[in-house]
A = this chain, B = another copy of it.
Amino acid sequence: MSENTITLTPPSGGRGAHVCLTPALLPLFNVEDYIVVVIDIFRATSSICYGIENGAEAIIPVSQVEECAAYREKGLDYLLAAERDGSVVDGFDFGNSPFSYTKEKVAGKTIVLTTTNGTHALHLSRSAKKIVIGSFLNLTALSNWLNTQNENVLLVCAGWKNNFNLEDTLFAGAVIEQLEDKGFLLDDAALAANDLFQVGKNDINGYLKKTSHGERLKKLGIEKDIEFCLQVDLTTAIPVLEGEKLVKLAVY
């Protein structure tokens, strides 16, 4: 695929803000040229933002329940989060609901979080200059920070099983809205994401109700989680990947 790889050509003196609509498209980008923002709105990156905001020392994302369980065998005092089909897996501390990531539960703790799509996107982005985590919860704090960095930005939508989904794209558009007058060169996907956000922004929850994924999540009985994940600017912490752990970015 290398001959087809898109070589980023930011405007002279400027930066590019690009959107990767699914992890399957990541090989098209020179990831090492970017700060990557990983986006998995329902619910991994929302829960991560909320947990880091509430004082979790670190969150370790893994893709398999078995990997998560392996941390217990290491004898570490970690909280383990894993669910299947909407229920907490037996023997684990909690599931993926953001309501599990309150101050009372997570302050000072390290959490191992099972998330398929989010972990996949993180893993494929590992050569980036920096990997941070985005969700509607930390939208403005994240966008403001991106504006202060003199770097190209790649918004990576975790999607669903490598395919496009609307909620992650809508959030990418929300970030682009906050970057667009700051001299970033936008690619077609960034333009599209922003236009979709403009269509949906006045009622994000209503807009997303028509999607297939929304239907799927509704069947899991997590409407309250969805509403929670669509709250804008509830938090200011920016989770950043250090080694295998997501920790709070020190913003100066």
In the complex, what distance in Å separates the CA atom of A161 from the CA atom of B64? 33
Question: In the assembly, how many copies of this chain are there?
Answer: 2
With CB as the reference atom, state the residue of chain B lying closest to A211.
B188
Query: From DSSP, what is the main secondary structure of chain A's interface residues?
Result: helix
Proximity bits, A186-199, B CB within 8 Å = 1, else 0: 01110110011011
- Give the shortest distance, in Å, between A107 (CB) and chain B (any CB): 36
- In the assembly, what is the distance between CA of A163 and CA of B20, in Å? 9
A45 contacts the other chain (Cβ, under 8 Å)?
no
Give every chain B residue within 8 A of A164 (Cβ-Cβ).
21, 25, 187-189, 192
Q: Show 29 A/B contacts (Cβ-Cβ < 8 Å), sorted by A.
A: A4-B161, A4-B162, A6-B161, A6-B163, A21-B164, A22-B25, A24-B24, A24-B25, A24-B28, A25-B162, A25-B163, A25-B164, A28-B161, A160-B188, A163-B189, A164-B187, A164-B188, A164-B189, A164-B192, A165-B188, A166-B192, A188-B211, A188-B212, A188-B213, A191-B210, A192-B192, A192-B196, A195-B196, A195-B199
